[in-house]
Amino acid sequence: MQKGIDEMDREIFARNLEKWRELPIGGGNGLRAFSSEILQWPDGRLLAQWRTARDYAMKEAAWYLKYYEPIFRGRDVCEVGPGIGLDGIWFAERGARMTFADIVPDNLRLLRRICGLQGICAEFYEINNPLKFDLAQNFDAFLMVGIVHHSPFDFMRRELRAMMKFLNPGGRVAVMAYPKERYVKSRAEDFTEFARMTDGVRTPWAEWYDDAKIRRLFGRRFELNWSRNFNDDKFAWFDLTKKGGQDVV
């Protein structure tokens, strides 16, 4: 991160950087691997594993992929924390102009390679300071699947304030997070324990979100259009629109 960042913020960023160089790549079996290791795989193995993961993901993601397909088509969309690009590549194949943003350089190198193998044109942005974005353009939509709940609320609120400056007024934000019902059911003592239960022992943080909390996270500049839990309360989806006027967070 750049100079002038609070030490606690540096620590949060460093923990996330260490954790999220490890990517979920399985087809429902919880398989994870470091992007630096996956980059060493030959093309055939990489594509075979990617397609296995994609086919499995469609079981949970088909409904929101189909919902956003006409909304994102022909639009500039930034996916933050895209992993191996299962969602973003699907939208790119159907006419969205995708930019992939990630904090881990090797994740972006891997995704650039996958896009090349799939014949996908996209832009890539390394987030080296999550509290000061320097994107090359504004966007019509942001897609964040499994991102906002993995940093403490106050940190993520400030990160979103920096990020959402690049969302056009009237633009959409699509967010997947963990619902309160999942947290309560887990009986975790705190968000640190919850993180280890949901995403493995190397995961530093995971907290729940509901409508009221997501509204506080994004602030008065955003309208919550709708939300829903899915997959037996394992996930929560939130759809928001950015209002006009100056930033108010």
- Rounded mean pLDDT of the chain? 95
Answer whether 218's CB lies under 8 Å from 164's CB.
yes
DSSP bridge pairs for 24: 32
Q: Which residue has the tokens 């209002």?
A: 243
Confidence grade of residue 201 (pLDDT, cut at 50, 70, 90): very high
pLDDT tens digit sequence for 164-185: 999 999 999 999 999 999 999 9
Instruction: Tell me if 53 is assigned to some domain.
Output: yes
- DSSP of 168-198, one letter per residue? EEEEEEEEEEEEHHHHHHHT-SSHHHHHHHH
Instruction: Specify the pLDDT at position 247.
Output: 42
Question: Per-residue pLDDT averaged across 55-80, rounded?
Answer: 96
Instruction: Tell me if 120 is assigned to some domain.
Output: yes
**Number of structural domains, the chain?**
1
Name which of 98-102, 111-115, 245-249 the model is least confident about.
Answer: 245-249
Instruction: Tell me if 248 is assigned to some domain.
Output: no
Confidence grade of residue 248 (pLDDT, cut at 50, 70, 90): very low
Nearest to residue 159, comparing CAs of 80, 223, 73? Answer: 80
Instruction: Tell me if 238 is assigned to some domain.
Output: yes
- DSSP of 95-154, one letter per residue? T-EEEEEES-HHHHHHHHHHHHHHT---EEEE-S-TTS---SS-EEEEEEES-GGGS-HH
Contacts (Cβ under 8 Å, ≥6 apart) of 198:
178, 182, 186, 206
Question: Per-residue pLDDT averaged across 225-249, rounded?
Answer: 86
Measured from the Cβ of residue 119, the count of other Cβ atoms closer than 10 Å reads: 9
Instruction: Specify the pLDDT at position 244.
Output: 84
CATH number of residue 26's parent domain: 3.40.50.150
Question: Per-residue pLDDT averaged across 82-99, rounded?
Answer: 98
pLDDT tens digit sequence for 147-160: 999 999 999 999 99
Instruction: Specify the pLDDT at position 129.
Output: 94
Instruction: Tell me if 119 is assigned to some domain.
Output: yes
Instruction: Specify the pLDDT at position 249.
Output: 32
pLDDT tens digit sequence for 10-36: 999 999 999 999 999 976 667 899 999
- The Cα-based distances of 201 to 36, 84, 194 in angstroms read 19, 21, 10
Instruction: Tell me if 21 is assigned to some domain.
Output: yes
Instruction: Specify the pLDDT at position 71.
Output: 98
Instruction: Specify the pLDDT at position 28.
Output: 66
DSSP bridge pairs for 167: 139
The pTM score is: 0.94
Q: Which domain holds residue 22?
A: 7-242
- The Cα-based distances of 22 to 41, 58, 142, 145, 206 in angstroms read 15, 21, 23, 16, 16
Residue 210 pLDDT exceeds 70 = yes
pLDDT tens digit sequence for 29-54: 678 999 999 999 999 999 999 999 99
CA–CA dist 149, 177 (Å, integer): 6
Instruction: Specify the pLDDT at position 5.
Output: 66
Nearest to residue 179, comparing CAs of 234, 225, 216? Answer: 234
Nearest to residue 2, comparing CAs of 127, 117, 166, 153? Answer: 127
Instruction: Specify the pLDDT at position 2.
Output: 53
Instruction: Tell me if 193 is assigned to some domain.
Output: yes
Instruction: Tell me if 58 is assigned to some domain.
Output: yes
